[in-house]
């Protein structure tokens, strides 16, 4: 069985400071991992994905994430937060042998001026 | 990539009535799914929409309450039947290829039941 845990339900940062959104996963098989962002009243947008290639994955809007198998983690980072980054972020796992996505509970990112 | 059009984008419905949500994908995809996102919560998978056969429902969801159709590779509908205020949620359609290198989502249907 697969599962994903987002360690923080809310993260608040100041504009221009680094962002760290934490995600740990559990999977019986080699997983694919994703980060999605959901802005208020908008659909889900893919930020980045890991599918067993390079462990450091770069996504859109300056976000990146590193897959660490030994720590079963896939944390999302950004060097400098922008006001437009304020949104809900979801870590998602799927086993390559399976057929369903499992969503984390989400992390609400607030960016303060 | 795939673009998913979902409608209606929102609706306010009377309790006891039913609402059908439509999902159209602009390319042929292997897998289509329906999710529910209750206020302030994450996404929960309702069912996998199978082309030409009955949908595969997750635990806690039943066909009588959430009938799903998928007549072809690019179109699916979800009906929320005999609605109650507890059904007020965002309902999202999703699609992906079998290799799951990416899942695409519709904009969602924001349903309020009064």
- pLDDT recorded at residue B1: 74
Contacts of A89 (CB under 8 A, 6+ apart): A6, A21, A35, A36, A37, A38, A47, A76, A106, A107, A108, A109
Asked if residue A50 has pLDDT above 80, the reply is yes
B4-99: CATH topology is Immunoglobulin-like (2.60.40)
Helix (H, G, I), strand (E, B) or coil at A60: helix
Categorize the per-residue pLDDT at A23 as very low, low, confident or very high, splitting at 50, 70 and 90: very high
- Using beta carbons and an 8 Å cutoff, which residues of B are at the interface with A? 31, 33, 41-45, 48, 92, 94, 100-103, 105-108, 110
Q: Do A101 and B45 touch (CB under 8 A)?
A: yes
For chain A, what percent of residues have pLDDT higher than 90? 67
CATH of segment(s) A3-112: 2.60.40.10
Contact call for B33 and A90, based on CB within 8 A: no
Query: Which of A35, A38, A41, A44 would you mutate first to test chain B, the one with the most B CBs within 10 A?
Result: A44
CB distance A73 to A24 below 8 Å: yes
Which residue of B103, B106, B110 is the best one to mutate when testing the A interface, meaning the one whose CB has the most A CBs within 10 A? B103
Q: How many CA atoms lie within 13 A of B102 on its CB side?
A: 12
Beta bridge partners of B47: B34, B57
Rounded Cα distance, B5 and B7, in Å: 7
* pLDDT surpassing 70 at residue A98: no
Residue B97 has pLDDT above 90, yes or no: no
| Partner-chain contact B103 A34, CB within 8 Å | yes
Q: Which of A6, A43, A50, A52 should we substitute to test contact with B (largest number of B Cβ atoms within 10 Å)?
A: A43
Confidence class for position B99, pLDDT limits 50, 70, 90: low
């Amino acid at each position: 069985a697969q599962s994903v845990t987002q360690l923080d339900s809310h993260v608040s940062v100041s504009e221009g400071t680094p962002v760290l959104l934490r995600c740990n996963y559990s999977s019986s098989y080699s997983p694919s991992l994703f980060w999605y962002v959901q802005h208020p009243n908008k659909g889900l947008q893919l930020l980045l994905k890991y599918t067993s290639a390079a462990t450091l994955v770069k996504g859109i809007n300056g976000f990146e994430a590193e897959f660490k198998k030994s720590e079963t983690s896939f944390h999302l980072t950004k060097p400098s937060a922008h006001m437009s980054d304020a949104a809900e972020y979801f870590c998602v796992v799927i086993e390559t042998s399976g057929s369903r996505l499992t969503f984390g509970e989400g992390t609400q990112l607030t960016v303060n001026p | 990539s795939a673009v998913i059009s979902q409608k209606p984008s929102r609706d306010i419905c009377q309790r006891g009535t039913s609402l059908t949500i439509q999902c159209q994908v602009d390319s042929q995809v292997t897998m289509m799914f329906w999710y529910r996102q209750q206020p302030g919560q994450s996404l929960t998978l309702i069912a996998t929409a199978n082309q030409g056969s009955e949908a595969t429902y997750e635990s806690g969801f039943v066909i009588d309450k959430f009938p799903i159709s998928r007549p072809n590779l690019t179109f699916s509908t979800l009906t929320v039947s005999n609605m109650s205020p507890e059904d007020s949620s965002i309902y999202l359609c999703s699609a992906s290829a079998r290799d799951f290198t990416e899942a695409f989502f519709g904009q969602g249907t924001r349903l309020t039941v009064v």
